[in-house]
Amino acid sequence: MKSIGIIVIATLLCAGCAAVDERAESLLGQADAKMISEDYTGAIAAYAEFVEAQPRHAQAARARATQKALERLAASRAASQAGSQAVINRALQASDATRRELSERQAETDRLKAEIAKLRADLERLRNIDLQLQKK
């Protein structure tokens, strides 16, 4: 009877361990799947949950390392996006400045064209006066 009790207790303990391992494997599988699908925020959270639930699991070190790498990747992407936005903002400012300068240059060109037309008209008048004086 005593040996049957020990066997039952051992079986229950092993079943409990198997359930814990199945849950841990499930968490790890979910984290890996999220990483593969590029849901890095979800993967980071799932790896953290796995490590918190099973800190001594054989895969815990890999999960911690992957979590840290994904955190660095997410931070790098955020910095890159912020940098890209800064470049875009500078380009837009430069574009606005270029448009203003172009507008100013266009106004100056129009003014010079009008002045050229006036000078041509003046020159034509002077030529006509000169021709009239030569005829006399």
Determine whether 50 is exposed, middle or buried from the number of CB atoms within 10 Å of its CB (0-12, 13-18, 19+). buried
Tokens of 128: 């006509």
Q: What is the mean pLDDT of the chain?
A: 83
Domain boundaries of the chain, sorted by first residue: 2-135
Contacts of 119-125 spanning 24+ positions with Cβ under 8 A: none
Instruction: Tell me the whole-structure pTM to 2 decimals.
Output: 0.51
Distance CA 62, CA 58 (A): 8
DSSP string, 69-88: HHHHHHHHHHHHHHHHHHHH
* pLDDT, tens digit, 9 for 90 and up, residues 12-23: 444 444 445 788
* pLDDT, tens digit, 9 for 90 and up, residues 66-112: 999 999 988 888 888 888 787 788 888 888 888 888 888 898 999 99
Tell me what the mean pLDDT of segment 118-128 comes to: 94
What pLDDT shows up at residue 17? 47
Reduced to 3 states (helix: H, G, I; strand: E, B; else coil), residue 133 is helix
